[in-house]
Amino acid sequence: MAHYFGFVPSDKLKALISEAEQVVASNENVEYYPYRDALTHQTARDLTDNLLVGLVEIIPNPERQASMRKIVGTIERATDTLLNILLGKENNKDVLPSFHFLRDHATFIDNEGIKRVGFKLSEKDANTITEGFAAITPEHVDRAKFKTALETMNEETLTHFISRYAETLKLGMIKRKSVPVAKSAIDKGMSMALNKLLPDLPNDSLNRLANYYRPFIIEKPE
Which strand ranges, in their side-by-side order, compose the sheet holding 2-7?
Answer: 107-109, 115-120, 2-7, 217-220
Tell me, what DSSP letter sits at residue 141? B
- 117-121, 124-128, 202-206: least confident range: 202-206
Closest CA to 156 of 72, 51, 58: 51
pLDDT given at position 182: 82
Highest mean pLDDT: which range of 47-61, 150-164, 181-195, 197-211: 150-164
| Predicted confidence (pLDDT) per residue in 37-74, tens digit | 999 999 999 998 888 877 777 777 788 788 888 888 88
Cβ partners under 8 Å of residue 116, min gap 6: 4, 6, 7, 8, 9, 107, 108, 109, 110, 218
Sign of the CA dihedral running 110, 116, 119, 121: negative
Give the mean model confidence (pLDDT) for residues 147-152.
94
Cβ–Cβ under 8 Å, residues 13 and 42: yes
pLDDT given at position 213: 93
Closest CA to 103 of 163, 26, 49, 168: 168
- 67 phi/psi in degrees, rounded to 5: -65, -40
